[in-house]
Structure 1
Amino acid sequence: MDRRTFLIYASFGSVVSTLNALLTNTSSGVGQESKRNNKILLSQTLPNRFVNVYSFGKLVSGNNQQDYIIAANTKIIQKAIDTVGRQGGGTIYIPKGYYQIAPANLTVNYPSSIVINYDNITLAGDGIGKTIIESRGSWSVIKGQVVRGHGIMVQGTNNSSQPRKNVTIKNLELHGGLTGFTGDRGWPANPKTGDGWDISHKGIVLDFDKYLDNITIDSVYVHDFRGEVIYGGGSGIGKVTISNTKIANSNGSMLSLDANLTVTKCEFSQTANAWVENAPVSPNKYYYFEQCKFQDSIASGLVVAQGNFYPGRKITITNCSFYNSPSGICPFGGASDFVITKNKFFDVNNVLFTSGVNRNIQFNQNEIYGQTQPVSMAHIFGELSNVVIKDNFHKAATNVTKVSCILYYDNLKNIVIENNFFENCRTPEQLGDLTNERPLFRNNQYINVERRDTQGSCVLSWEQETPYMVTPKCEEVVLHNMTSTTITTMSMNISRYVDGQEVLVIGGTIKRKVKLPQNSATIECQSDRFISAKGEKVRLKFNKYNQKWYEVL
Structure 2
Amino acid sequence: MNRKKTRVRLSQLAIMLIVLALFASQSFAAGSMGSTEDALAQDNQEEQVMKKGEDESSVNENKLWPGMSGSTQWMNMLQGQLGLNDLGYVSVKLFGAKGDGVSDDTEAIQSAIDYVGEQGGGTVFFPAGTYIVKRATPAQNYNYCLIIKDSNISLLGAGMGATTIKIADGENATILRTVINNTNIDGELAKPLKNIKIADLTIDGNWENITWAGPTGLESEGIYDQNGISIFTTTDGRVENVHVKHIGQDGLSGGSNRNIVVTGSVVEHTGKNNIAFFQSTGMKITNNTARNANDSPDGGAVKPYYNTSSSKYSSIAFAYAPSPLFVGTTRSLNIASGNTIYTETGRGISADSGANHLIIANNMIESSSGRHLISLLMPSSIMPSGFVVSDNILRNDAESNGDKRDISITNVQDAVVSGNTIFGGGMAIVLDNTHHAVVTDNLIREVGNDSATAAGINVRGSSNLRLHDNLLSDSTVKFTNRPSDEISLQSNKLTATPTGLNLVNNLTSFNNDGYDPFVPNQEAS
Fold shared by both chains (TM-score > 0.5): yes
Instruction: Pick the aligned partner of 2:273 from 235, 249, 253.
Output: 253
Q: CA–CA distance in 1 between the matches of 2:508 and 2:244? A: 52
Length-normalised TM-score, structure 2: 0.70
The 1:391–1:60 alpha-carbon spacing in structure 2 relative to 1, beyond 3 Å, is closer
The aligned residue for residue 133 of structure 1 is 165
Distance 2:513 2:264 in 1: 51
Cross-structure match for 1:345: 394
The CA distance in 2 between the partners of 1:406 and 1:428, in whole Å, is 6
Q: Which runs of 4+ in 1 moved over 6 A?
A: 27-30, 397-402, 503-506
Partner of 1:277: 317
CA displacement at 1:428 relative to structure 2: 2.2
Within 1, Cα distance between the matches of 2:89 and 2:76? 18
Displacement of 1:137 in angstroms is 5.8
Question: Is 1:390 aligned to 2:440, yes or no?
Answer: yes
Amino acid corresponding to residue 132 of structure 2 in structure 1: Q
Q: Contact 2:364 / 2:394 at 8 angstroms: preserved in 1?
A: yes
2:112 to 80, 84, 87: 80
Residue aligning to 1:178: 207
Q: Which amino acid aligns with 2:82?
A: N
Match of 1:331 among 376, 401, 407: 376
1:410-440: CA deviations, max 9, x gaps?
Answer: 42111121111122x3322233132x41632
Q: Is the 8 A contact 2:234 2:258 kept in 1?
A: yes
Q: What is the CA deviation profile of residues 65-90 of structure 1, one whole-angstrom value per residue up to 9, with x for unaligned ones? A: xxxx22xx001100000011101110
Cα distance in 2, alignment partners of residues 16 and 338 from structure 1: 45
Contact 2:164 2:202 in 1 (8 A): yes
Separation of aligned partners in 1, 2:512 and 2:338: 39
Q: Structure 2 regions of 5+ residues with no counterpart?
A: 1-22, 28-59, 184-189, 295-312, 323-328, 398-403
Aligned match for 1:223, one of 236, 245, 253: 245
* TM superposition shift of 1:163: 2.5
Q: CA RMSD for the aligned pairs?
A: 3.8
Task: Summarize the Cα distance change of 1:214–1:251 in structure 2 as closer, same or farther, 3 Å threshold.
Answer: same
Q: 1:363 aligns with which of 417, 420, 441?
A: 417
Distance 1:368 1:332, change over 3 A: same
Is 1:201 the counterpart of 2:226? The answer is yes
Partner of 1:422: 472
| TM-score, normalised by the number of residues in structure 1 | 0.67
What letter matches 1:221 in structure 2? H
Q: Which residue of 1 aligns with 2:64?
A: 18
Q: Per-residue CA shift, 1:333-369, capped at 9, x if unaligned?
A: 14421111111111164221123x2111111111112
Task: Say whether the 8 Å CA contact 2:180–2:191 is kept in structure 1.
Answer: no
* Residue 430 of structure 2: aligned partner: 379
Change (3 A) 1:118 1:440: same
| Identical amino acids, percent of aligned pairs | 18
SS at 1:501 equivalent: strand
Measured against aligned partners, the alpha-carbon deviations of 1:94-135 in whole angstroms (never above 9, x if no partner) come to 010112111123424421111000111000000101001112
| Distance in 2, Cα, partners of 1:389 & 1:426 | 15
Distance in 2 of aligned mates of 1:50 and 1:213: 22
CA–CA separation in structure 2 for the residues paired with 1:351 and 1:180: 36
Secondary structure, aligned partner of 2:108: helix
Report whether the alignment pairs 1:53 with 2:82.
no
1:505-527: CA deviation from partner (whole Å, max 9, x where unpaired): 99xxxxxxxxxxxxxxxxxxxxx
Counterpart check, 1:115 vs 2:147: yes
Question: Does structure 2 retain, via aligned residues, the 8 Å contact 1:113–1:150?
Answer: yes
| 1:149-188 superposed matches below 5 A | 149-157=173-181, 163-179=192-208
Matching of residues 397-436 of structure 1 within 5 Å: 403-423=453-473, 425-434=474-483, 436=484
| Corresponding position: 1:213 with 2:226 | no
Partner deviation per Cα, 1:342-398 (whole Å, 9 max, x = no partner): 11111164221123x21111111111123xxx35320221x2101111001112289
What do the CA deviations read for 1:291-332 (whole angstroms, capped 9, x no partner)?
A: 111111413221111117xxxx52112111010142122111
Any conservation in 2 of the 1:305–1:335 contact (CA below 8 Å)? no
Letter in 1 for 2:251: V
> Which structure has greater helix proportion?
2
Counterpart-to-counterpart distance in 1, 2:453 and 2:218:
39
Q: Tell me the amino acid that sits aligned with residue 277 of structure 1.
A: A
Preserved contact between residue 427 and residue 449 of structure 2 (Cα < 8 Å) = no
Quick one: distance in 2 between partners of 1:298 and 1:345? 16
Report what 2:50 is aligned to: none
Are the structure 2 counterparts of residues 499 and 30 from structure 1 closer, same or farther at C-alpha, using a change threshold of 3 Å?
closer
SS at match of 2:267: strand
Given the superposition, is the C-alpha separation of residues 266 and 278 from structure 1 closer, same or farther in structure 2, using an over 3 Å criterion? same
Kept after mapping to 1: 8 A contact 2:493/2:512:
no
2:487/2:504 contact within 8 Å kept: no
Moved more, 394-403 or 316-325: 394-403
Mapped contact 2:447–2:456 kept (Cα < 8 A): no
Q: Is the 8 A contact 1:386 1:414 kept in 2?
A: yes
Please tell me whether the aligned partners of residues 113 and 136 of structure 1 are also in contact (alpha carbons under 8 angstroms).
no
Structure 1 residue 278: Cα displacement: 1.5
**TM-aligned CA deviation for residue 136 of structure 1:** 4.3
Q: Report if the CA contact (8 A) 2:135-2:145 is conserved.
A: yes
AA matched with 2:319 = A
How has the CA–CA distance of structure 1 residues 103 and 500 changed in structure 2, closer, same or farther, with 3 Å as cutoff? Answer: same
Alpha-carbon contact 1:264-1:292 (below 8 Å) kept: yes
Unmatched 5+ stretches in structure 1 = 4-13, 140-147, 182-186, 458-471, 475-492, 507-536, 544-549
Name the CA shift for 1:378/1:111 in 2 (closer, same or farther; >3 Å). Answer: same
Shift of 1:542: 3.5
Does the 8 A contact of 2:493 with 2:513 survive in 1?
A: no
Letter in 1 for 2:392: N
Deviations 1:5-57 (A, max 9, x none): xxxxxxxxx9981159x9xx9x97986x799x835xx35xx31x211111111
Match of 2:338 in 1: 291
> Contact 1:502/1:542 (CA < 8 Å) preserved in 2?
no
- Mapped to 1, the partners of 2:445 and 2:516 lie a distance apart of 27
Partners in 2 of 1:156 and 1:59 — Cα distance?
29
Relative to structure 1, the CA distance from residue 323 to residue 116 in structure 2 (aligned partners, 3 Å threshold; closer, same or farther) is same
- Partners of 2:169 and 2:348 lie apart in 1 by 26
Task: Determine the C-alpha separation between the residues in 2 that align with 1:214 and 1:505.
Answer: 49
SS in 1 for 2:195: strand
Aligned residues: 417
Report Cα offsets for 1:171-218 as digits up to 9, x if no partner: 00001011599xxxxx98332599xxx9410111123xxx32111101
Q: Does 1:441 align with 2:489?
A: yes
Q: Is the 8 A contact 1:106 1:149 kept in 2?
A: no
Measured at CA, do residues 538 and 260 of structure 1 come closer, stay the same or move farther in structure 2, by a change above 3 Å? Answer: closer
In 1, Cα distance between the equivalents of 2:386 and 2:92? Answer: 45
Amino acid in structure 2 at the alignment position of 1:224: H
**1:303 matched residue in structure 2:** 350
Higher strand share: 1
Q: Which amino acid aligns with 1:299?
A: G
